[in-house]
Structure formats: C-alpha cells, structure tokens
C-alpha cells in the first residue's frame, strides 16, 4: 500500500524496485578474461601462497585488456608486500560478486577460510574481513554460513550508510548527541523508538548473530572476530547508545570528544582513555622510544616482603613473558632469598637494609611510601625502555608479546595504564586461573553487580575487594618524575600523557585463597587497601565490620565465597556478563623452567 505521505513521483528510488534490481544486476556483469587468464585450481597449494609475498605485477597482466587483468593489477597494487593468500582472497571475492564466476571460485574461497581462517584474520584489514563475511552470505556452503553472512552484510552496510550521513552532522563518531535535543518526529514505518535505558534491541540482535555463527566452525572465527572488533570500536552507534544509557542512568558523565593521535590511528582499538596532553604531560625522552619489538627492553620493579616461593613465581612469570629484568627490592633484606633469586641473571635484588636507606634517605614508616621510594630509585637508574611497577601478587597478562604492545604506544605517551582483573579462589584444580573484571570492563553498568553478587554487590566498587585503578608501565628516561603506586608523578601530580591498554590485564591475586584473605584482613583494614576512605557510603570496610559484629567468622566466610570464590554460580554469572577472564598459569612450572629448580619453601 502506498504511504499517504508520498506519491509515485517522490519515491526514493524512481521506478520502484524493478529499477533497483536492474541497477543492482548491472553491477554484476560477468568477469571477462583474456586467453590464459583465470583463477588457480581448487587444489592449489595454499601453504605456498601463505608464505609467498606479492611482488611486482607480472608482465602478462600489465598489458591485459580484460576485466580480470584490470582487477589483478588493482589488487597487486593494494596487496604489494603482503601474503599472496590475502591477494587470492580478494581476487576470489571480486569474481564471486559477478555472475557466471568460474566453478572453482566459491569452493576455493570456502577452502581458504576452512583451512586458514586464523591467518587471514591476522593479516587482512577490517575492510577485507567485512567483504569476506559478505561473500559467505551469497556463497556459503551451509545454511548457517549464508544466514550469518547475509545478516552481517546488512548490519555493516547499514552502519556504513548511517555513519556516512552522520559525518555531515559536524559531530565526530565517538561523541553522543547532547542531552535534551531529542526530536518529536516519528520513526519511519510506524516503528517505536529504541528505549535508551532498558532497551534490548541491540544486545538481542548482536547476541543472536553470535549464536548463529557459533553453529558453523568455518564462519564462526571470522564472524566472532568482527563482532568483537565492533564491540571494541568506540566510533559506532552501539557504543554511543551505551554512553547515552550510562549518562541517563547517572553512572558516568556525558563524554566529550576523545583526542586522536595524529599519526597512529591504527592504535585506537589497542589504546583508549587518552588524557588531554595539555593538562599535565611529562616530556618523553626520544632516546627511549623504540619502534622495534625485537630491540625493545622492558622490566618490572617490585618491593616485596613475601615468602621466597611467591617471589620466585612472580619473577619467573615475568621473565617468561619476556622481561629483560625483574628488579626486586627486598623489604626484609633477606640475604638468603637474594642469593637464590639472583641465580638467574635477569633478576636484580636490592636489599633494603640500614645501609641502603642511609644512602637514599630516611626509611619511610608506611610500606606504600617505601614502595614508591624504591620504584623511583629503580626508575632513575634504569636503562630499559619501559618499567612496570607492580606487587608480588600482580601478574602482567598481555594478549600478545608485551614488546609489541609497547612499541605501538604513541611516541608522546609516557604511561600505559594496565587495568586490573581480580583472581578468584580456585575450586577446580584442573581449571585455568579465573579472574573477574569490573562491570564496565565487560561492557556493563554497575546495575548488574547485585545480580552477580546478590548480598554484597551493591556495596562493592566494581565488584572488587582490591583496587580498580590498575598499575602503570612507564617510559623511562623522563627527568624529575616519581613512580607512584598507580601513577607517574611530576611536581606531585600524575602526568596526563597516558593511555589505557586493551587486551592486556593486570592479574591481581589479591585474595586467591581464604587463608590469605583472612590472615591479611586486619592489616589491610588498619594500614592497607581496606581502610575507610572519606566517603560516607557503606563500603567494604563497613561490610567486614558488620559481618564481624553480627555473624563472626561464618559471615566473613560467606562473603568470601560469594565474592571471591570461583563457585559454579559465580563463574557462570560472570561469563554471562562478559566479565570472566581465564588464563593458564602454572606458576610452579614457570619457576622450574626459569630457575631450574623450586625454592625450598615450595612444598
């Protein structure tokens, strides 16, 4: 039925859908080939193509007059220096967009993705990955492949249309429209507006695509990768709707535009939360900017007064990750520990004895001040490119070699903030180490915390019992700075040229066992991280005080089980909200591998 607000002369597409189809089909004219040209056979050697790089355009293609030759020349220029397998993927897609493509085109395309999906995902840019999933829609071998390909094709093409129109609004893609500016105009086709707060259209749509893709092992890696990339990207409608929802719920202020680094736009999904450089930047030493991961040297510094076994696990983990040096400042100045640890050349031990404190200054009474004094002492004499300041129960957990992450940091950045995830107490000895994230890290709001932690969630910052601030990896060679617990400080203020890294976590084994939690409880309440801050809100210290007064040890045990233990219920609840991180962590095996033996205090 014709819409009463339109007439035949005012159609968006004059001539109706017969004209639309005619125009669409005109773009699918069969590919033309000169004699001897064509796609490789279905049984071609894909391993060889994976290892071969695209070089100069072959002589026979330079003079070809065919459509195939023209497309080959275009793709040779685009994929110059890249794997030939990526070039073949593009060539197959170009043929499959036409009618009457060669018979091996679709089977060969599916073979590429069946046998080399991980390689293609790692080497193709997002544009070609989207083109690949679209091709599954027309040429998939299974119903799931075709269904997922079609729906993602519609999704990404629609995003391209509306995000292009948005460019004319004068507002950059990562910035939401101002509150209070909503128009009273009706949506087309009598649709109801999406409910900014409480609406489930977005998650239902994306979640259904994810589940459909999981049905097919060929299309799943590509489809899931693209959906995860969409979830990480901050320049799309889904992210803006989330920010608008949070602003209306009062969980965060309306965000302004995020400054972009002018030279390294490719890093936008690796680093985020960039501070404004003009607020309080630290001057980066250009001699410590190393672009080659093979030459970059990083290390960790930590002040420790822990059993030798724990220190050995900490050191071994980071040496296995690729640390050039692990600097341990022994707060108890135990020479026996120092002798065992320094059997590995990558471990540096400083005994914090009377002589040490006489050299660098008065020994601070608070352990936090001793930590910052020691970290700054290490920083000032460091010849590394980057230095992380972390504790004995904290473990860097990068999703790729850490040197690769550090070399991709913008050259004017002094600090990389690593977000913390909190380890749960093991209930299954055979399971990997499991860590929980905050609600925000999982793309949630704090409203989910009472669902996950029914008794205590409403009173815990992020659902954690430890810090939410994370720890820093700092670029060395900057004069007159001090390395703090959670920041790099210049003139007593945290420097602003910092970014938060995505995909790399700080695994915090803050309360990894009930015994550790209970034995440190009093100290942490009086001197450590559980101390009551200025806030009058009912927080962790109040919970513990209340449980002690009303239920005693049973109350504390119930708290630990609900909040800190990897019970099946908690693990499932965290997984359902994308707030669970699992990592293989055989720390004793790492100690044996690095040091060649276990320390005497490991049973």
| pLDDT score at 147 | 94
For 406-434, write each residue's pLDDT tens digit: 999 999 999 999 999 999 999 888 889 99
Mean pLDDT of the chain: 86
With tokens 């909040």, the residue in question is 563
Cβ neighbors of 522 (< 8 A, separation 6 or more) are none
| pLDDT score at 551 | 86
| pLDDT score at 173 | 77
| pLDDT score at 355 | 95
For 200-229, write each residue's pLDDT tens digit: 778 778 888 988 888 899 999 999 999 998
| pLDDT score at 245 | 74
With tokens 């890249």, the residue in question is 82
| 416 neighbors 473 (Cβ within 8 angstroms) | yes
β-pair partners for 396: 506
Q: What is the DSSP letter of 345?
A: T
Please state the rounded mean pLDDT for residues 505-534.
Answer: 81
Range with the poorest average pLDDT among 19-23, 215-219, 241-245, 516-520 = 19-23
| pLDDT score at 181 | 53
For 120-169, write each residue's pLDDT tens digit: 999 999 999 999 999 999 999 999 999 999 999 899 988 888 888 887 87
Two tokens, residue 299: 């290390």
Looking at the chain, the whole-number percentage of residues with pLDDT higher than 90 is 55
| pLDDT score at 27 | 60
For 237-296, write each residue's pLDDT tens digit: 888 888 877 776 654 444 444 333 333 333 346 887 555 554 788 999 999 999 999 999
Please state the rounded mean pLDDT for residues 114-120.
Answer: 94
| pLDDT score at 295 | 95
Please state the rounded mean pLDDT for residues 301-320.
Answer: 96
Whether the pLDDT of residue 396 is over 50: the answer is yes
Two tokens, residue 406: 């550090």
Write the burial class of residue 385 (CB in 10 Å: 0-12 exposed, 13-18 middle, 19+ buried): buried
């Amino acid at each position: 039925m014709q819409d009463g607000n339109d007439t035949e002369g005012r159609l968006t597409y004059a001539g109706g859908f017969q004209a639309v189809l005619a125009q669409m089909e005109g773009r699918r004219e069969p590919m033309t080939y000169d004699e001897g040209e064509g796609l490789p056979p279905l049984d071609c050697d894909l391993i060889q193509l994976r290892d071969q790089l695209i070089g100069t355009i072959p002589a026979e293609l330079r003079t070809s007059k065919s459509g195939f030759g023209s497309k080959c020349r275009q793709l040779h220029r685009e994929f110059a220096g890249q794997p030939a397998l990526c070039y073949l993927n593009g060539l197959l897609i170009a043929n499959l967009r036409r009618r009457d493509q060669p018979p091996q085109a679709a089977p060969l395309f599916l073979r590429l993705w069946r046998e080399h999906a991980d390689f293609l995902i790692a080497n193709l840019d997002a544009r070609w990955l989207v083109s690949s999933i679209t091709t599954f829609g027309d040429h998939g071998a299974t119903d799931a492949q075709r269904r997922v390909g079609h729906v993602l094709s519609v999704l990404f093409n629609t995003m391209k249309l509306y995000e292009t129109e948005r460019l004319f609004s004068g507002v950059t893609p990562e910035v939401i429209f101002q509150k209070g500016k909503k128009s009273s105009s009706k949506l087309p086709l009598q649709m109801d507006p999406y409910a900014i707060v409480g609406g489930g259209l977005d998650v239902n749509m994306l979640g259904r695509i994810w589940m459909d893709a999981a049905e097919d092992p060929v299309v799943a890696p590509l489809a899931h990768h693209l959906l995860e990339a969409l979830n990480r990207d901050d320049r799309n409608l889904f992210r803006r709707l989330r920010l608008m929802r949070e602003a209306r719920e009062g969980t965060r202020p309306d965000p302004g535009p995020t400054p972009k680094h002018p030279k390294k736009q490719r890093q936008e999904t690796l680093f985020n939360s960039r501070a404004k450089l003009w607020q309080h930047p630290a001057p980066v030493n250009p001699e410590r900017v190393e672009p080659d991961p093979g030459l970059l040297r990083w290390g960790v510094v930590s002040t420790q007064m822990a059993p030798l076994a724990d220190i050995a696990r900490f050191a071994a983990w980071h040496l296995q990750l690729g640390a050039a040096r692990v600097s341990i400042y022994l707060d108890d100045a135990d020479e026996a520990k120092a002798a065992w640890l320094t059997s590995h050349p990558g471990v540096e031990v400083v005994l914090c004895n009377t002589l040490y404190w006489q050299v660098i200054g008065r020994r601070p009474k608070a352990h936090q001040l001793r930590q910052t004094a020691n970290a700054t002492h290490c920083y000032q004499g460091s010849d590394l490119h980057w230095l992380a300041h972390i504790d004995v129960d904290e473990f860097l957990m990068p999703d790729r070699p850490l040197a690769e992450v550090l070399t991709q940091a913008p050259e004017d950045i002094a600090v990389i903030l690593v977000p913390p995830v909190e380890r749960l107490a093991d209930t299954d000895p055979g399971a990997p180490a499991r860590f929980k994230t905050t609600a925000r890290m999982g793309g949630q709001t704090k409203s989910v915390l009472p669902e996950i932690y029914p008794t205590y969630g409403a009173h815990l910052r992020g659902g954690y019992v430890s810090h939410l601030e994370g720890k820093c990896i700092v670029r060395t060679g900057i004069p007159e700075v001090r390395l703090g617990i959670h920041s790099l400080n210049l003139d007593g203020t945290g420097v602003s040229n910092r970014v938060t890294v995505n995909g790399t976590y700080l695994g915090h084994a803050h309360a990894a066992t009930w015994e550790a939690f209970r034995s440190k409880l009093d100290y942490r309440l009086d001197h450590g991280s559980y101390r009551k801050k200025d806030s009058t809100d009912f927080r962790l210290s109040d919970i513990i005080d209340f449980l002690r007064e009303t239920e005693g040890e049973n109350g504390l045990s119930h708290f630990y089980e609900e909040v800190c233990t990897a019970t099946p219920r908690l693990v499932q609840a965290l997984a359902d909200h994308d707030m669970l991180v699992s990592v293989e962590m055989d720390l004793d095996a790492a100690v044996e591998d690095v040091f060649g033996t276990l320390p005497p205090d490991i049973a």
